[in-house]
Amino acid sequence: MRAPFSRTAFDLLAEQAAAAPHHDAVISAAGHLSYGDLLYRARRVAGYLREAGVKRGDRIGLLANNRAEWLEIFFGIAALGAVVVPFSTWSTTRELAFLLGDSEVSWMFTIAAFGDRRFGEDIVQLAATGRSQHLKHVVLIDDEGARPPGQDTIAYRDVAASQPIDDVLPGNGASANDILTILYTSGSSSRPKAVPLDHYAAIENGFNIGRRQGLRGSDRVLLSIPLFWSYGAVNALPAILSHGATMVLQSHFEPTGALDLIEAHQCTAIYTLPAMTNALVANDAFRLERTESLRTGVTIGAPQDIIRAANELGASEMCNIYGGTENYGNCCVTPHHWPLEQRSVCQGPPLPGVQVRIRDPESGELLAPGQVGSIEVKGYLTRGYAGQSSRFNAETFTDDGYFRTGDLGALGEDGAMRFAGRSSEMIKRSGINVSPSEVEEVLQNHPSVGLAAVTGVDDADRGEIIVAYVTAANDGSTDPDDILAFCKEHLSRYKIPDHLVVTETLPLTVTGKVMRRELKTLATNAFSAGSGAGQSGE
């Protein structure tokens, strides 16, 4: 399949709509939406925002689960050259306060609530109290009845009924090198890092990801992974769109519902993670004939994870991947036609336009093929962190333009990446990066906690689990259940410790810093598979 001509996200949507206006772009709980329909709805969003004075470069927040409106808003914002800033539906009030301030969004499109989170109320209150001085307008995607009482918000249905823009004049819309989106990703700091990503690079790298999967226009791709992740926004979305395929959206992952969608819509591809694959095949409703339509897709994991997705789930051409938000979701992908044995033991060669090198973490020397060292990536790469996290740019990016990933790996003689593990402190739980320092910061805000230290332990189902050790404040008592409840209030669900241990002492250096290696060994001995460890709080 030829690469698209377009180099901006909105132009890409328009290009595909011109080529196949009646072909399904999206299937969701709301029904089917063709490429032509999605384009028209995005034009309406753009028309409203342009009339309201939104300009190229303005930052606009988007907080919603997987739904057609997410895509309408995304492409409507992109049409004007404004920047989409997606937020996670796991965000707590504390996290939202940081995100709104750091991102400097002037508009916020949000669902009123998701699960036990009340985003509409939280965002309006944060704006009213001055904790987000840049935020001027809040648009509620849900029905008007879901508005926070007495608050001046805009109903999305008014936005969606606006006069659509006819075209975007030169200079008023996006250019190829403009920022398409700023995504927030967990880093080594206690706060998420803001990662700007450009239009042209998202399209070109996304097309290459789709090509490695063997995507074609007739494919229907199940997306249960969130669109607000890089895995969704700059990996799955441009990969699917640039090949003219169809997105089958699940509001949020739930295995029984995912199986129903695969079977009902005869999905041929899937974006998954080991924990999701395991949940699907272990579900009481799973039968291989229900997923026999699957052919390809992408996932991460150990060899057994790739083999399970290919053989037990049935996506025989499943691709193994490596990458992160800073490099547009993926920088290495195994070709779908490689033998499964080969795909399962490596993450594939770098994508076109990407360079990868391996450096000795101690000497700094570049290493030969087969030698394990620090992974550095160049090519389709963020221009550098924004907001408060810009202070990390000098230590994260090299003078010659490479990104220091914090990972260990090796390049084989065949040029394929072989991931070996994390060299940084980051925990990767169910495919999502978690910063130990962020969890520690919340734990230490609990009045009964003195010191806190957090580490990850390898886990067959989730990649890593989170283990937290805390000491009591002022020689008092601590209630593990109360501390975990505090975490649930102030941390996204995936950041909550799987095990919480109250201890008298922590492994500390003479200067009072946590000895990370010793902590990890302690946690691994206690909570690794087969250790016979107990539950949180033991």
Kindly report, residue by residue over 125-145, the tens digit of the pLDDT.
Answer: 888 777 778 999 999 998 654
pLDDT attached to residue 236? 98
| pTM for the predicted model, two decimal places | 0.84
Mean pLDDT of 355-366: 93
Question: Does residue 461 carry a pLDDT above 70?
Answer: yes
pLDDT attached to residue 212? 98
pLDDT attached to residue 133? 82
Three-state SS at 26: strand
Question: Does residue 504 carry a pLDDT above 50?
Answer: yes
User: 3-class secondary structure for 396-438?
Assistant: HECCCCCEEEEEEEEECCCCCEEEEEECCCCEEECCEEECHHH
In contact, 486 and 468? CB cutoff 8 Å: no
- 149 band by pLDDT with thresholds 50, 70 and 90: very low
pLDDT attached to residue 56? 95
> Which of the given ranges, 133-142, 184-193, 222-231, has the highest pLDDT on average?
222-231
Question: Does residue 530 carry a pLDDT above 80?
Answer: no
> Which of the given ranges, 138-142, 201-205, 424-428, 503-507, has the highest pLDDT on average?
201-205
Angle at which helices 9-19 and 68-79 cross, to 10°: 110
pLDDT attached to residue 486? 94
In contact, 292 and 263? CB cutoff 8 Å: no
Mean pLDDT of 34-38: 98
Question: Does residue 197 carry a pLDDT above 60?
Answer: yes
CB contact set of 222 (below 8 Å; sequence gap of 6+)? 248, 250, 258, 261, 262, 265, 267, 269, 270, 271
Compute CA distances 60 → 56, 108, 387, 489, whole Å.
Answer: 11, 6, 15, 26
- 533 band by pLDDT with thresholds 50, 70 and 90: very low
Mean pLDDT of 60-74: 98
pLDDT attached to residue 511? 47
Three-state SS at 171: coil
CB contact set of 250 (below 8 Å; sequence gap of 6+)? 66, 222, 223, 224, 257, 258, 261
pLDDT attached to residue 148? 52
Percent of the chain, pLDDT > 90?
A: 73
Mean pLDDT of 323-339: 97
Per the prediction, the chain carries an average pLDDT of 91
Q: Angle at the Cα of 226 (from 225 to 227), degrees rounded to 5? A: 120
Question: Does residue 531 carry a pLDDT above 60?
Answer: no
Mean pLDDT of 104-126: 91
How far is it, in rounded angstroms, from Cα 470 to Cα 501? Answer: 6
How far is it, in rounded angstroms, from Cα 398 to Cα 159? Answer: 44
